[in-house]
Amino acid sequence: MIKTKKFQLTKKEYFSFIIRILLKKIGWLFALMILISISLIFKDNKNYTENSIMVFGFFFPIVLLFQYWRFANSKENAIILKERQFEIFPDKILYQMGEVSEGTIDVENFIKTFELKDLYLIYISKGQCFYFPKRIFESKQDENWFRNEVFLKIKNK
């Protein structure tokens, strides 16, 4: 069993990690859109369709980033930014959010995992996950224990 430090995400951290997840999943699509748009800039005799594709290729990623920024800074996401702490066992995770909210979830209820450079995500549904910034572990041994006993077991099931 390990207990994490109390932590709280900022709006900037939350925006950063949802953008990094998006880029890791569909970054290739953004790159392709921008590449096609750049190639169309240098083409002579563009027609309406090519101009539309070029504009869409440049502005769609920008609009999507703006929408994610608005989502991350929305007042409706207040619960995501609350202070929290976890107690992690090999078979369950206890969590405490704020002063009064707490709960338990069995490890077998998690469906998938996702790892970024500084963050572990463990999904309980397609759109809901628990996030564990690597900075919340008391020591490197605690992080290694979590990774081996919980994260990798969920990933490999």
Tell me the mean pLDDT in the region 108-133.
Answer: 91
Q: Quick one: pLDDT at residue 45?
A: 85
Q: Which CATH class is domain 82-155?
A: mainly beta
Q: Quick one: pLDDT at residue 124?
A: 92
Residues of the chain with pLDDT > 90, as a percent, come to 75
CB neighbours of 119 closer than 8 A, spacing ≥ 6?
17, 131, 132, 133, 134
Question: Does residue 101 or residue 86 have the better pLDDT?
Answer: 86
Q: What are the boundaries of each domain within the chain? A: 11-77, 82-155
Percentages (nearest 5) of helix, strand, coil residues in the chain: 50, 20, 25
Tell me the mean pLDDT in the region 7-28.
Answer: 92
Q: Quick one: pLDDT at residue 101?
A: 85
pLDDT (tens digit, 9 = 90+) per residue, 58-77?
999 999 999 999 999 998 88
With a cut of 90, say whether residue 139 has pLDDT above it.
yes
